[in-house]
Amino acid sequence: MTQININTLSDLPSISKQLIQAFGDKPARPGGVKIIAFSGEMGAGKTTLIKAICEELGVKQTISSPTFSIVNEYLSSAGKKIYHFDFYRINKISEAYDMGYEEYFYSDAYCFIEWPEKIAELLPEDVLKVNISVKDGVRVVEF
C-alpha cells in the first residue's frame, strides 16, 4: 500500500501522476475500462483529487461534483471518455441498476467513483481503491 500526504493544493499534480501510474499498472477490464474507487469522509477531498487527475489526463471541460446528476462525462486529451460518479445520494442498489451502471463500468472508459461503499457489491474485484483521510489538517491518500 502506498501512502502520500497532501500538504497543499500544489501537491495535487504530483499525486495525480502517481495515481495514474498505479492505475496504468492495473490491467484494463474487458473493453479497456479502468475503475478507481475513492473513499473518505465528506470534505476529505475526493472531488478535488478527481479533478486534478482529470486535468492531468487533459480534460478541458469544467470538472465538478456529480452529486445531483450522479455521473458526469468528460473527455481526455487522448479522446478517451472519463466517467465521474458520486453515489452519495444512492439509497438502494437498485438505483445503480436503474441508471445502467454496467454500460459505464464495462465501457471503454475511465471510471472515477466517489462513495463506492454505496455500491460495493457492484464493483469489480480489480478496482483500484483510494482512501483519503484528514489527520492533523493534512490529507492522507492511501492506495
* Predicted pLDDT at 111: 94
* Predicted pLDDT at 39: 97
* Predicted pLDDT at 31: 52
* Predicted pLDDT at 62: 94
CB-based burial of residue 92 (10 Å sphere; 0-12 exposed, 13-18 middle, 19+ buried)?
exposed
Assess contact for 32 and 104: CB atoms under 8 A. Answer: no
Assess contact for 26 and 126: CB atoms under 8 A. Answer: yes
CATH number of 30-142: 3.40.50.300
For residue 132, which amino acid is it? I
Assess contact for 109 and 80: CB atoms under 8 A. Answer: yes
* φ, ψ (nearest 5 deg) of residue 120: -50, -40
* Predicted pLDDT at 1: 84
pLDDT tens digit at each of 143 positions of the chain: 889 999 888 999 988 988 888 776 555 555 555 899 999 999 999 999 999 999 999 999 999 999 889 999 999 999 999 999 999 999 999 999 999 999 999 887 899 999 999 999 999 888 889 999 999 989 999 98
Query: Domain spans of the chain?
Result: 30-142
pTM (2 d.p.): 0.88
